Homo-oligomer: A and B are copies of this chain.
Amino acid sequence: MKVAHLGETQLISKCARNLPRRRDVVVGIGDDCAVVRLAGTTVLQLLKVDAVVEQIHFRRDADPRQVGWKAVCRAISDIAAMGGAPAHALVTIALSPKMELSALEALYAGIRRACAKFDVALVGGETSRSPGPLFINVALTGFVERAHCITRSGGRAGDLLYVTGRLGGSGKGKHLTFTPRVREARWLVTHFTVNAMIDVSDGLAADLPRLAGASGCAFTLDPSTIPRTSGCSTDAALSDGEDYELLFAIRPALAEKLERAWRRRFPKLPLTRIGALAAKRHGTKLQARGYDHFA
């Protein structure tokens, strides 16, 4: 059988069986980042790798500066989604010998700009030849206080669901220029008890069921409330993906205070309540109610 016949989730479940374990691992495969304990401190370390491949994640004619920015910021977004601050990056680039040096320098300029903006030190990497496409892998560490580490799986039935920013339209260029929500996530987790969080990288239609599923919940979603990028349909807002906004679950008692404080702190970035987590009904399929809304 060819791997083409399996989805990524099936591939991972096939390959990530019987993995060697260590006692210092808090969260392994299956969340935005891995989480490990560091001996002698109450701070947790977040670990993430993320790859972008030419022809798959960006076109050959994309601005290399933006490609570099995107490669780093995708990984930063995952660190933010767990409540953490990014720290150290290592970048692997496999490139064709025919690549123009000026393009490689522009790519690194984008990488450097992203690192500088989010206080990330670029501490290592590797340059290898590629017989074909340009391949960029970013390995990123981050840190988060034990009390502020948010996974996808802590949501409870009744929690309200919020999303930052506006969704959809990433294909028009936003996917290369987005800002990962580090500042917002750090503020959120230090001021409010967030039960579950994820970054919307594959589209709300994929990532909301992921968060709900990891939390053992179903969900309700009112599509008319989804904050849309100007000119985008609800469908685009649900499915385009690469929004890199935060989606999180919080208990209803905190809603009013959160919304007020958010408007004061981030007046330019919308925060929108789009639905709620709900109890999973016996005998019905997970997320059945949610997917109804997508129909």
A residues adjacent to B (C-beta < 8 A): 1-6, 8, 11-12, 14-16, 18-22, 24-25, 27-29, 33-34, 36, 38-43, 45, 47-51, 53-57, 87-88, 90-92, 94-95, 97-102, 104-105, 108, 112, 115-116, 119-133, 135, 137, 139, 141
Contact = CB atoms under 8 A, between A and B. Distances in A.
The 10 nearest A-B residue pairs measured at CB: A4-B97, A132-B132, A139-B139, A34-B123, A40-B41, A22-B121, A15-B108, A49-B90, A34-B124, A20-B116
A14 B43 CA distance: 36
A28 B121 contact: yes
B49 A131 contact: no
A50 B36 CA distance: 21
Contacts of A42: 40
Contacts of A33: 124
Contacts of A34: 88, 90, 123-124
B88 A47 contact: yes
B124 A47 contact: yes
A131 B90 contact: no
A43 B51 contact: no
Given A22-B87, A137-B139, 15 more contacts: A11-B104, A16-B125, A20-B119, A24-B121, A28-B123, A29-B123, A36-B123, A38-B40, A49-B126, A51-B128, A53-B128, A56-B129, A56-B131, A90-B139, A130-B132
A38 to B, nearest CB: 5
Contact of A122 (B20, B88, B135): B20
A36 B122 CA distance: 12
Contact of A100 (B2, B11, B40, B51): B2
